[in-house]
Structure 1
Amino acid sequence: MRAFFILVSGLLFGLGVTLSGMVDPLKVLNFMDITGTFDPTLLFVMGAGLAVTLVGYRIVLGWQKPLLAERFHLPVRSMIDARLLAGAALFGIGWGLSGFCPGPAVASLVFGHLPSVIFVAAMAAGMVITRRLAPRAG
């Protein structure tokens, strides 16, 4: 049953980013080009996502436990440290240079475009290298 909900969630996410056009890296790059071909679409997508998340968290965190787990798994660390800042900077630089965000990049694989494949392969390699080289944060 859990695998079914994971599949449905992934399909819903993929459908959402595809319909919103966020699988097209030019949408993101044009959003960042405020003096040229500015496209505010990303702002509306992020705003809608934030609104759904705020409402969803208020509802779900009122439950005693999640539907498909024994307990909620919420972040316990709230400190802003060098590791968090470096990760955020790398994410932002990669997003700004490529126009790909990890989720939409994976969703865009269904279209078979070479830039999507290269980005996701590089992202996966970076994840493997980071897990092997970086010490585990407590």
Structure 2
Amino acid sequence: MRLIVAYIIGLVFGTGIAISGMANPAKVLNFFDVAGSWDPSLAFVMGGALAVAALGYRFVLRRPGPVLDTRFHLPGLKLIDARLVGGSAVFGIGWGIAGFCPGGALPALGTGRWEVFAFTAALVTGILLAHFIQSLGARRGRASA
């Protein structure tokens, strides 16, 4: 049942990305081009998503627990540290260069365009590299203790 629900949620998300045009990197890049062919539609998509998420969180978190899990999995840290800022910067730079973010790239894989596959490969490589670097730091921390 969890896989079916995850599939439906992914289908709704991917459909929303496609309908809003966020799978088109040119549309996203035009949002960042404030001195040229600026397209504000990304701000409206983000604003709509934020409103839906805010209402959803208020409704869902009033429940005693999730329907398909034993507990809610919410972030526990509220600290703004170098990892968070650095990761956000890398995300923003990559989004500004490529015109894709992970949420828009995955549904865009269905277009078959090589640019989407190149971005997704770079995304997966970056995730694996970050995990590798993090595990090296953890090993060094254990070795010096």
TM bin, normalised by shorter chain, reads over 0.9
Question: How many residue pairs are counted as aligned between the two chains?
Answer: 137
Letter of the aligned partner of 1:67 in structure 2? V
Displacement of 1:98 in angstroms is 0.7
- Which residue matches 1:121? 121
CA RMSD between the two structures: 1.2
Q: Which runs of 4+ in 1 moved over 2 A?
A: none
Q: Please list, as runs of the form range in 1=range in 2, the aligned pairs for 1:1-138 lying within 5 A after superposition.
A: 1-135=1-135
Letter of the aligned partner of 2:96 in structure 1? G
- Which residue matches 2:142? none
Instruction: Tell me the distance in 1 between the aligned counterparts of 2:104 and 2:96.
Output: 14
Letter of the aligned partner of 2:42 in structure 1? L
Letter of the aligned partner of 1:86 in structure 2? G
Pick the structure with more helix per residue.
Answer: 2
Which 5+ residue runs of structure 2 have no aligned equivalent?
Answer: 139-145
Instruction: Tell me the distance in 2 between the aligned counterparts of 1:81 and 1:34.
Output: 29
Letter of the aligned partner of 2:131 in structure 1? R
| Sequence identity (%) | 48
Deviation digits for residues 61-94 of structure 1, max 9, x if unmatched?
0000001001111111000000111000000000
Which 5+ residue runs of structure 1 have no aligned equivalent?
Answer: none
TM-score (norm 1): 0.96
Displacement of 1:133 in angstroms is 1.6
Instruction: Tell me the distance in 2 between the aligned counterparts of 1:85 and 1:103.
Output: 20
Displacement of 1:122 in angstroms is 0.7
Letter of the aligned partner of 1:109 in structure 2? L
